[in-house]
Amino acid sequence: MLRASSSRFVRPALQPRSHICTPFRRWESLIASNRVLRLREEVGPDTKVDLKQIMDDLRDLELLDLLENKKPRSGNGWKDAARALYPLYHKVDTGRQAKVSFAELEDALAPIFTMPWGVIRERLLDGKVRALSSLSPVDAAKLRFLQIFNVGPARAQAIADAGCRTFDDVLDMAKKAEPKVKISKSQQVGLELREDLNRLIPREELVELEKKIKKAVSAAGRGFQMEILGSYRRGSAFCSDVDLVIRHERYATKDQTDEGKELLGKIVDQLVEHGLVKPEHQLARGASKFMGFIRLNAGSRFRRIDIRLVPHASYPYTLLGGSGDSLLMKFLRWKAKRMGWTLNEYGMGKKYSAVDANPNGFKPGTLKEVKDEQEIFQLLKLPYLKPEERDYRIWKEKYLVAGVKEVEELHKMNL
């Protein structure tokens, strides 16, 4: 627990990041900034804080919302705050920096993260977080088990009801001939790799991993194209997993299951051959999707990898949909809908009417084939955004400057 400091050192607070600038938003931001200023005065800017504990608190509060079936707060909730703090935490986690000061914490997390800052205040001044410290032993165990890959609230409840309270209890139960709760292969492997999977992937590591994956894909045969999607493609410094998309000219439709199994199998076999994926870390492998764990080398952490083999004509749409960001994709789908189309990760075509089945798809035979992502933006009559321009704070400004008036009304849209 930290004691109040008499320090009166004051420096400008960070500008809050909000989606829409309104008088109410500005007033809300001012209140949030003042709260952080008061906490700085109570704690002291040079006081060292336990950033790992704060990161654990944010993770556990996110899992508590999941356990209690609460809708995640978008934009400035627990997960977003943890992401904002991760570059600073990574320095501590890798031993590059021993301690973190409150001033550094404040630099990394904008005041608009009001709920996370409230929890940080509890941790720094009271030494605990009420929502977590008040949990019963059973609820604390359920929360703990949600950290295991592929374990949801129902399975966490079942594991706790079986008498498990620690990760070691779960491992011991999994080894029994007739366990009270069966632990799947993916859950057992996820439990063993828990510490690795709870960490984000630094960009420099993923750059090197991408090079090795490309070599493996090339060795699988001619005609393959691949791309790593998600925040990595947008240029983020840290990523949660490896989201790999692949296409081949021989794979034209999702109905070609035999062709898909053969092509995807060649890719996975080469990942194993190149020492990137272990056979025991292949969790799911079908005609078009693979899920497992991968690592750069023997000294690296294991990372989640998802591979999707998509129909050849769908590839540009999958690149767009898989790169994000989420608000951009909602906006593009809204734009397509206004033009009478449905846009998804497999294509864009004439939307179904109210009486048609599958309203989230598009009518067969109406796919608008494109050679690249630029043509999708052209069809939607929007300026093209390069992958690194697809973060909200960048693309919103670019579209406003370009005169895309719909962006001014984003807060009124049902996105």
Q: Which residues pair with 243 in a beta bridge?
A: 306
- 4 in Cβ contact with 42 (< 8 Å): yes
pLDDT in tens, 291-345: 999 999 999 999 999 999 999 999 999 999 999 999 999 999 999 999 999 999 9
4: pLDDT strictly greater than 60: no
- 313 in Cβ contact with 347 (< 8 Å): yes
| CA 350 – CA 222 distance, rounded (Å) | 34
* pLDDT at residue 17, rounded to an integer: 41
* pLDDT at residue 19, rounded to an integer: 45
* pLDDT at residue 353, rounded to an integer: 73
Q: What average pLDDT does range 385-406 have in this prediction?
A: 95
23: pLDDT strictly greater than 60: no
pLDDT in tens, 238-270: 999 999 999 999 999 999 999 999 999 999 999
Indicate the pLDDT class of residue 413, thresholds 50, 70 and 90.
Answer: low
Cβ-proximal residues to 282 (8 Å cutoff; 6+ apart), any chain: 268, 290, 292
Cβ-proximal residues to 366 (8 Å cutoff; 6+ apart), any chain: 349, 350
* C-alpha 70 chain-centroid distance: 18
Q: Is residue 274 exposed (0-12), middle (13-18) or buried (19+ Cβ within 10 Å)? A: middle
Indicate the pLDDT class of residue 3, thresholds 50, 70 and 90.
Answer: very low
Q: Which domains does the chain have, with CATH numbers?
A: 23-133 (no CATH), 137-197 (1.10.150.20), 201-310 (3.30.460.10), 324-412 (3.30.210.10)
172: pLDDT strictly greater than 70: yes
112: pLDDT strictly greater than 60: yes
Q: What percent of the chain has pLDDT over 90?
A: 82
The model's pTM is: 0.87
Give pairs for 220-224: CB < 8 Å, separation 24+. Answer: 220/263, 220/266, 220/267, 220/269, 220/270, 221/266, 223/248, 223/249, 223/250, 224/248, 224/263, 224/267
* pLDDT at residue 75, rounded to an integer: 62
Least confident range of 23-27, 285-289, 371-375, 393-397: 23-27
What mean pLDDT is reported for the chain?
91
Indicate the pLDDT class of residue 351, thresholds 50, 70 and 90.
Answer: confident
74: pLDDT strictly greater than 70: no
